[in-house]
Amino acid sequence: MSAQAPAPPSPSAGGPPPSDAVPLFYRRGFRRLLQQGIYVAITALVAWYVYDSLDLREFGFGFLDDPAAFKVGNQWLTDIDGVTNNRITMYLVGVWASLRVVFVAILLSTLVGVLVGVSRLSSNWLVARLAMLYVEIFRNTPLLVQVVLVYAIFLVGAPIIQEVVNIGDFAFISNRGLAIPWPVPNDGLWGLPDWFVGVWVALLIAIGAVAMTVRRTRQNRERETGQPQFANRWAFGIFAVGALVTFIILGLPVSIDRPYIEGTRYLEGMVIRPEFAALTIGLTLYTGAFNAEIVRGSIQALPTGQTEAANAIGLSGYQRLTLVILPQALRQMIPSITNQYLNVNKNSSLAYAVLYDDLFRVAGIIQNKAGHALEMFFVIIVTYMLISLVISAVMNLINSRVTRVGV
């Protein structure tokens, strides 16, 4: 090796290498300091920039407290007047509308999924092929198209209100919706106020709890003794008798309202409007197709020995399905089906296509009037996230319960 370049004379001889032997920029300490300094500086700049631009935009949620000055249609159980109420109240009306759609669509799509999924594995050629046709059609076309199509069918296919289809003065069908009878709170026979319906509902829950306890006790006894204990019949009987007795004691707190038509308007009863129906049916058909595939996959993932064993001990086809196959398959499908439920929640924003007043549309109206798009989208995102998290939490609870049982 050739000689090093002559180092400048160091003041402290013999110790660590002189401080200027390594240039400042190559020193490890300086490098770390510089890197961290740049990182901190950029972070601070970005933070300051975000804060400052938000400040300039007058970021804040005060506008949500101003009067809404618009109306929201298609309310159920509520009749909140948008003209006098503030914007956040109307937004919550929209959230309630979204929740209704999501709840109904989740229930129906699960039902469709199980039915079609099992049908796809049917030995009946026609049933299996029809199920496959359904899945392939609805899984492979856009949900938006399905929702708009269903809505158009209602709009054009159903008669106008002047030519309403009257089903025995009991229900009405027109393109303004399906009107059906609906229970409403009622002043009791003994002059009890109508909020006593709440007492009745509370009593029903209590009676239901009692019935479930009886059912469990009898099921356990059946398992121990082998003697049939008719647990389900007992539970149902207790509940039915309890409900009837309390209903009479409280003086019939609920009556059934039959709808009727005045002019061009449905009064009383319950009206399922075409926008709600189109959105719910669209979501149900679309998600149902995916659910069916999940159900089919979970069943096919079971070892064939399960089916063979069930056949060997002489179970009927129905018993094989309900006692052996589905209980095991359901456990496997819960995580996948949770994803579908979350999709139902997110896809419910397609309400915009048929002007169903869900949370996204109401938020859109508020934005049109008040601006503050940033804040409004923040609220929208948080709302969808909260609903999704609740769905996940419930599904995780169910998952942990079913996986705990047996096997």
Residues that bind other proteins (CB under 8 A): 1-2, 4-5, 7, 23-26, 34, 38, 41-42, 45, 49, 52-53, 56-58, 69-74, 82-83, 148, 151-152, 155-156, 160-162, 174-176, 264-265, 273-275, 352-357, 365, 367-371, 373
Distance CA 314, CA 323 (A): 12
Minimum CB distance to other proteins smaller for 18 or for 297: 18
Q: Least distance from C-beta 202 to other proteins, angstroms? A: 34
- 3-class secondary structure, 130: helix
Distance CA 385, CA 383 (A): 5
75's tokens = 């309310």
Distance CA 391, CA 99 (A): 11
Classify the C-alpha dihedral 192-197-199-203 as positive or negative: positive
Q: Least distance from C-beta 142 to other proteins, angstroms? A: 15
Distance CA 53, CA 56 (A): 5
- Contact assessment for residue 384 and residue 346, using Cβ atoms and an 8 Å cutoff: yes
Bridge partner residues of 165 (DSSP)? 173
Q: Least distance from C-beta 79 to other proteins, angstroms? A: 10
- Contact assessment for residue 270 and residue 180, using Cβ atoms and an 8 Å cutoff: yes
Minimum CB distance to other proteins smaller for 247 or for 260: 260
Classify the C-alpha dihedral 262-73-269-272 as positive or negative: positive
Minimum CB distance to other proteins smaller for 118 or for 271: 271
In this structure, the chain runs to a length of: 407
Minimum CB distance to other proteins smaller for 9 or for 23: 23
- Contact assessment for residue 245 and residue 237, using Cβ atoms and an 8 Å cutoff: no
Q: Least distance from C-beta 352 to other proteins, angstroms? A: 6
Q: Least distance from C-beta 341 to other proteins, angstroms? A: 25
Q: Least distance from C-beta 371 to other proteins, angstroms? A: 4
Minimum CB distance to other proteins smaller for 5 or for 312: 5
Which residue is associated with the tokens 């819960």?
334
Minimum CB distance to other proteins smaller for 30 or for 234: 30
Q: Least distance from C-beta 56 to other proteins, angstroms? A: 4
* CA-wise closest residue to 72 among 86, 59, 61, 60: 86
Q: Is 251 left (phi over 0), alpha (psi -120 to 50) or beta?
A: left
The residues, any chain, with a CB within 8 Å of residue 402's CB and separated by 6 or more, are 330, 331, 334
Q: Least distance from C-beta 16 to other proteins, angstroms? A: 17
Q: How many angstroms separate the Cα of 245 from the Cα of each of 129, 194, 200, 203, 298?
A: 49, 18, 10, 11, 44
Minimum CB distance to other proteins smaller for 63 or for 196: 63
Minimum CB distance to other proteins smaller for 160 or for 385: 160
Q: Least distance from C-beta 10 to other proteins, angstroms? A: 13
Minimum CB distance to other proteins smaller for 219 or for 367: 367
